Amino acid sequence: MTIRLDRTGLVAGHRNPEAAASAAEISTYLTEKLDMPTTWGVEVGGPVGTLHWYIDFADMAELEAGLAKSMTDPGYIEVIAKAADLFIEGRTKDSIIFMM
């Protein structure tokens, strides 16, 4: 069974182009540097300017290890810090989904 992490962030103001570029950079970093293949997309419907990142893990242990790896990786922390003002604080959400 696959575990999917779906992280959403709501873009601040009219910064969609910059946020999209940042979403791509975050996905590329996770995929290439941390070996966590990540895709991203823009929500159609719902709150305008909602971006999603998706990462699939084999099980909860792999998800936990991936989260620990990302939270301690200086390069990832730097990429996230660059994006901080592009998203509304407190409007980022993680959903963990058991894929069937």
Does the pLDDT value for residue 46 go beyond 90? Answer: no
Average pLDDT over residues 21-44: 97
Domains parsed from the chain with CATH numbers: 2-99 (3.30.70.100)
Cβ contact 97:57 at 8 Å: no
What letter would DSSP give residue 7?
A: E
Burial class (CB in 10 A: 0-12, 13-18, 19+), 4: middle
Sheet holding 93-99, edge to edge: 38-42, 50-57, 2-10, 93-99
Does the pLDDT value for residue 88 go beyond 90? Answer: yes
d(CA 87, CA 100): 31
Average pLDDT over residues 14-34: 97
